[in-house]
């Protein structure tokens, strides 16, 4: 696209070496390489990561062009040296934007950016060839990567811009350079870097410095010098909202435009969707779309689901449902997620025709075929008039291609027996109605589910990484089914994000992870003689905590004729559970130093009270005992080994104990008491159910077994589909427990049954059968639920039974 000389000049760089590389794609993540041979890799440095560490990985995968800020020599590669690699990326994208004279819509605001962008795409796709930001790519890195995708076939661009502190929007404005600006709103989201909402507003408005038109609320943009299209519910504006009439599943918005009364019906009733719809309405009015077309298109809008969901399906399959969009960028995002979760399973993709891509059909379907080949999809089911024939001859021989002319034809020929033990991505355009295909794969379970937010898990991992030295490794504890959240699914995410080790309680847990495709080292904390063979067969690494266990395992390894098998030593420093006592360390050290069958991978101990300030002296005493033991071991063991003592709480409260590695456990799941000032953790798990029935119960009547629940007034009692067989303890009965219904607490009444629990919803208006109920999660933290029955969050999470469906999603 651009010569090496041009790129050098644009990014103000110096050419260290020139292999005359062909550059078409910009990348910064060595794990997500689609076209390595034509990619330019930017080694971006952040506070907690350095892209230069991944240059070798990118090079091995075929990348031959790099932008660096630290000198590096690579054979047969083009290397640009710059002062700031992020700045270089942004300069190159800004230069690319300047080559195109097309309308570009720039969207910013506190909330609703992605929804407005996606809705505008749906409302306009019949009239324009649109290029838009994928998902919520609105950051300092995401924006230049999005803008780089503009080509000569596009007729409209739609890009969103997000900021977190002053000074950032000026850089994004140069890249997007919008001709039309849209401000969605100003709220409390992303306020940490600003002194006030007004400062945040002024910073966001910098995006529209050279825009020909700005669309937004009258109250927020009235002072701008630009041409404006405003809306307001309180003031006179270009579009003045007079009323909104909420119905059961839709809302009618009544307004005045150009002195005429007008209205719009939308298929939403929540306030945020109404506001976002009004913003989109303003744009369509500005471009003079007829009222009938506007109304018709608005009724086709769907909620914008920013989550890729991973569900258990029929015949031991995993299902990723992304059935409302079909474009190469979102396909790549979905395939990334599939690859991240596919460990050990065959991969199948069901995909529809692609529409309005801004590319010729030849280029479009060649790109799709390359994606399918690159991600090693084994079975491709192509549904539509074009896609099957266009992909013929472009797929590798390892890909089995099945074609169907329509969605209905696939459904008519569907056999559940054709799908078993595979991960299936359902990816289709809205008009293909693939939601009906996704239903075919659903596993029929009762209405209680444990939702696992994998994005929140990743966020929490990064929050803890902020507190660690760059050299400190992380062992993630995934024992007890990842605290009830699902072992293999959680482990796949941790492996993808380069966690050094995983820790499990028993060999069976580790074996399940290996069989699911996990390849990073796994430490087994409770090894026993009966599991030695399975441990070795699956390359698991046992914890050795006693002389007897050491002798047994060493004897087994000798019999197998193995040398240097990795083990982990546990030292007793005060927990008084497992571990070598201090007085035995000298003999153990001498023995280990003199043998060659076992290799000490790490030495560790458990802190007994790291979360308790009252026990800080004891924590430091444990650390001193541990260091003394390590010093003895180092005298006799000639090679280095990892040392670790910190758990989740110690990472926060005792940073001096980081050593070589830390063990991150329940903190990963958003649970870390009294750490709010240091960590911005997000809840990972939400246990939710639904109301099966509502009864009107007269005063004096009883509820549930043993007549323990007596109502003292005429009451409305809701029966919820969860009981002690699902892990909801009987201790929550008789008013002790509460659940969240319509964002309000509803007390448990009567005894908790095996499959059902009753709630008193008398004081909560509008509750009906089928309504959602939160057992723990957002609005009702698991910590709060644990306190209700005087236990700890660990017990609540690990008690959720296996019959409760786990639903995984990635925002």
Catalytic residues: 479, 705
What are the backbone angles phi and psi of residue 6, rounded to the nearest 5°? -60, -45
User: Which candidate, 109, 33, 27, places its Cα nearest to that of 66?
Assistant: 27
Of 502, 489, 495, nearest to 810 (Cα)? 489
Q: Which own/partner contact pairs does 234-238 have at CB distance under 8 Å and 24+ positions apart? A: 238/282
Distance CA 217, CA 230 (A): 5
Q: Other C-beta atoms within 10 Å of 414: how many? A: 13
Q: What is the DSSP letter of 733?
A: T
The H or E element spanning position 740 is strand 738-741
Q: Rounded CA gap, 747 and 717, in Å? A: 10
d(CA 380, CA 372): 8
Token representation of residue 674? 């009294």
Continuous H helices in 526-596 = 532-537, 547-560, 585-594
Spatial distance between the Cα atoms of 698 and 696, rounded to a whole number of angstroms: 7
- Which residue do the tokens 């959602």 mark? 772
How many of the other CB atoms lie within 10 Å of CB of 492?
A: 24
Nearest to 798 by CA among 335, 584, 482: 482
| C-alpha triplet 375, 327, 31: angle, nearest 5° | 35
By residue count, the chain amounts to 811
Q: CA dihedral in degrees (694, 697, 701, 702; nearest 10)?
A: 10
808: CB partners within 8 A, 6+ apart: 309, 310, 311, 341, 451, 452, 454, 486, 489
Alpha helices of 177-217 — where are they, by DSSP H?
A: 197-205
Cα 688 from chain centre: 19
Find where tokens 């990963």 sit: 668
Q: Rounded CA gap, 165 and 159, in Å?
A: 19
Distance CA 35, CA 27 (A): 10
344, 355, 350: which is closest to 321 by C-alpha?
350
Distance, CA of 311 to CA of 421 (rounded, Å): 13
Q: How far apart are CA 758 and CA 545, in angstroms?
A: 47
């Amino acid at each position: 696209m651009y010569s090496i000389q041009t790129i050098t000049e644009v990014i103000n760089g110096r050419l260290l070496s020139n292999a005359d590389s062909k550059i078409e794609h910009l990348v910064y993540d060595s794990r997500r390489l689609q076209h390595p041979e034509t990619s330019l890799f930017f080694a971006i440095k952040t506070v907690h990561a350095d892209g230069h560490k991944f240059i070798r990985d990118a090079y091995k995968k075929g990348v031959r062009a790099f932008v660096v800020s630290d000198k590096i020599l690579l054979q047969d590669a083009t290397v640009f040296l710059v002062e700031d690699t992020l700045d270089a990326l942004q300069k190159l994208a800004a230069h690319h934007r300047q080559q195109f004279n097309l309308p570009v819509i720039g969207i910013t605001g506190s909330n609703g950016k992605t929804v407005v962008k996606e809705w505008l795409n749906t409302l306009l796709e019949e009239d324009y060839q649109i290029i838009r930001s994928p998902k919520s790519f609105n950051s300092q890195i995401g924006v230049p990567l999005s803008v780089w995708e503009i080509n000569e076939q596009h007729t409209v661009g739609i890009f969103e811009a997000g900021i977190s502190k002053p000074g950032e929007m000026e850089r994004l404005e140069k890249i997007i350079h919008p001709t039309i600006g849209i401000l969605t709103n100003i709220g409390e989201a992303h306020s940490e870097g600003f002194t006030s909402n007004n400062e945040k507003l002024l910073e966001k408005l910098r995006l529209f410095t050279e825009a020909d038109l700005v669309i937004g609320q009258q109250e927020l943009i009235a002072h701008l010098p630009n041409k404006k299209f405003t809306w307001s519910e309180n003031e006179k504006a270009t579009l003045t909202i007079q009323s909104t009439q909420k119905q059961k599943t839709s809302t009618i918005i009544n307004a005045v435009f150009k002195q005429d009364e007008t209205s719009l019906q939308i298929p939403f009733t929540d306030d945020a969707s109404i506001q976002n719809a009004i913003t989109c309405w303003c744009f369509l009015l500005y471009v003079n779309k007829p009222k009938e077309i506007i109304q018709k298109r608005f009724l086709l809008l769907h909620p914008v689901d920013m989550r890729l969901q991973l569900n258990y399906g029929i015949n031991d399959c995993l299902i990723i449902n992304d059935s409302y969009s079909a474009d190469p960028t979102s396909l790549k995002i979905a395939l990334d997620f599939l690859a991240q979760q596919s460990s050990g399973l065959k991969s199948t993709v069901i995909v529809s025709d692609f529409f309005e891509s801004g590319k010729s059909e030849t280029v479009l379907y060649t790109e799709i075929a390359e994606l399918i080949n690159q991600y090693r999809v084994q079975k491709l089911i192509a549904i539509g008039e074009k896609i099957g024939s266009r992909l013929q001859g472009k797929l590798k021989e390892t890909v089995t291609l099945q074609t169907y002319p329509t969605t209905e034809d696939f459904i008519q020929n569907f056999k559940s027996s054709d799908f078993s033990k595979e991960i299936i991505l359902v990816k289709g355009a809205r008009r293909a109605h693939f939601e009906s295909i996704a239903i075919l794969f659903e596993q029929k379970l009762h209405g209680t589910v444990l939702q696992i937010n994998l994005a929140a898990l990743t966020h929490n991992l990064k929050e803890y990484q902020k507190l660690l030295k760059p050299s400190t490794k992380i062992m993630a504890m995934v024992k007890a089914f990842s605290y009830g959240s699902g072992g293999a699914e959680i482990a796949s995410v941790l492996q993808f994000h380069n966690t050094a080790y995983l820790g499990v309680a028993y060999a069976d847990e580790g074996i399940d992870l290996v069989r699911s495709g996990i390849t990073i080292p796994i430490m087994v904390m409770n090894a026993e003689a009966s599991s030695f063979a399975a441990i070795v067969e699956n390359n698991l690494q046992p914890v050795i905590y006693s002389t007897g266990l050491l002798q047994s395992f060493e004897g087994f390894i000798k019999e197998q004729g193995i040398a240097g098998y990795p083990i982990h030593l546990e030292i007793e420093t005060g927990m008084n559970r497992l571990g070598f006592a201090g007085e035995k360390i000298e003999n153990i050290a001498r023995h280990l130093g003199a043998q060659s069958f076992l290799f000490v991978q790490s030495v560790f101990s458990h802190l007994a009270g790291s979360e308790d300030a009252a026990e800080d002296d004891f924590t430091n005493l444990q650390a001193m005992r541990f260091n003394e033991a390590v010093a003895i071991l180092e005298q006799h063991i000639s090679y280095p080994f990892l040392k670790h003592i910190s758990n989740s709480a110690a990472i926060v409260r005792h940073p001096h104990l980081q050593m070589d590695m830390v063990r991150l456990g329940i903190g990963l799941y958003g649970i870390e008491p009294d750490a709010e000032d240091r960590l911005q953790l997000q809840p990972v798990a939400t246990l939710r159910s639904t109301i099966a029935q509502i009864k009107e119960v007269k005063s004096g009547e009883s509820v549930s077994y043993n007549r323990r629940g007596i109502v003292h007034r005429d009451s409305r009692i809701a029966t919820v589909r969860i009981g002690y067989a699902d892990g909801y303890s009987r201790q929550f009965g008789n008013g002790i427990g509460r659940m969240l219904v319509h964002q309000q607490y509803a007390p448990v009444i009567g005894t908790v049954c095996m499959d059902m629990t009753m709630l008193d919803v008398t004081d909560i208006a509008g509750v009906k059968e089928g309504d959602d109920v939160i057992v723990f999660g957002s609005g009702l933290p698991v910590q709060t639920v644990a306190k209700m029955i005087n236990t700890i969050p660990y017990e609540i999470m690990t008690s959720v039974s296996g019959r409760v469906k786990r639903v995984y999603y990635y925002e």
